[in-house]
A and B are shown apart, each in its own frame.
Chain A
Amino acid sequence: GDSVTQMEGPVTLSEEAFLTINCTYTATGYPSLFWYVQYPGEGLQLLLKATKADDKGSNKGFEATYRKETTSFHLEKGSVQVSDSAVYFCALQSIQGAQKLVFGQGTRLTINP
């Protein structure tokens, strides 16, 4: 079945560091891919998405590119801030899934000033 694998956390960086959180997936067909963010004590919010190969999703300085050849959707940000501290989830929406999302295990990111 469909699955998503994220790099294990927690990840701790200093402010203004470069961020990469790896995400790879297994799915049939061409799923839509998402990054969700969960701030402390809150529900999940959509951060960015990509619906087809080579699409780049971007929001709030974060970017991720849909790479079909490597089945990856890595999240990147050039200069992180303390306010980016959160848990990040990679997810896929399989075409057969009737809007069901399959999530990775989440990566906790802490940014120190």
Chain B
Amino acid sequence: NAGVTQTPKFQVLKTGQSMTLQCAQDMNHEYMSWYRQDPGMGLRLIHYSVGAGITDQGEVPNGYNVSRSTTEDFPLRLLSAAPSQTSVYFCASSYSGTIPPSYEQYFGPGTRLTVT
């Protein structure tokens, strides 16, 4: 298993540009999420999905869109990049089917995004 993969590893955008951060997992996890990591603030949840076709907002959703057409993929779209979106982005997945529930989340290696 490759686990959770993310592309690209690094990206530089100009203000106003759009792009999509890719995330895929091969563990058949139903739950996937996107976090951003900023210095001194830990990780903050952007959007999450509890299964294909179902997404919801997290703590900091503004400026980002997501969709979940398959179990494996959960792309994050930046509609019009702003310098405040400079951050490291992590995708994570988890499976709730164990008894008792595990809640362990598996993280990808991250995408470092700089918006100038």
Of the candidate stretches A62-70, A73-81, A97-105, the one touching chain B is: A97-105
**Using Cβ atoms and an 8 Å threshold, which residues of chain B touch A106?**
40, 42
Minimum CB–CB distance from B71 to chain A (whole Å) comes to 15
Minimum CB–CB distance from A54 to chain B (whole Å) comes to 16
The count of residues in chain A whose C-beta lies closer than 8 Å to any C-beta of chain B is 22
Task: Report which of A51, A98, A105 forms a contact with B42, defined as CB distance below 8 A.
Answer: A105
CA distance in complex: A46, B107 (Å): 9
Known interface pairs A89-B43, A98-B50, A99-B31; A44-B103 also in contact (CB < 8 Å): no
Task: Report which of A32, A43, A49 forms a contact with B110, defined as CB distance below 8 A.
Answer: A43
Task: Report which of B31, B40, B90 forms a contact with A44, defined as CB distance below 8 A.
Answer: B90
Mask, B89-116, CB within 8 Å of A = 1, is 0101010100010011101111000000
**Using Cβ atoms and an 8 Å threshold, which residues of chain B touch A93?**
103
CA distance in complex: A104, B40 (Å): 9
| In the A-B complex, the 10 residue pairs with the closest CB atoms | A103-B42, A43-B107, A44-B107, A105-B42, A93-B103, A103-B43, A43-B109, A99-B31, A46-B104, A32-B103
Chain A interface (Cβ within 8 Å of chain B)? 4, 32, 34, 36, 41-46, 49, 51, 89, 93, 98-101, 103-106
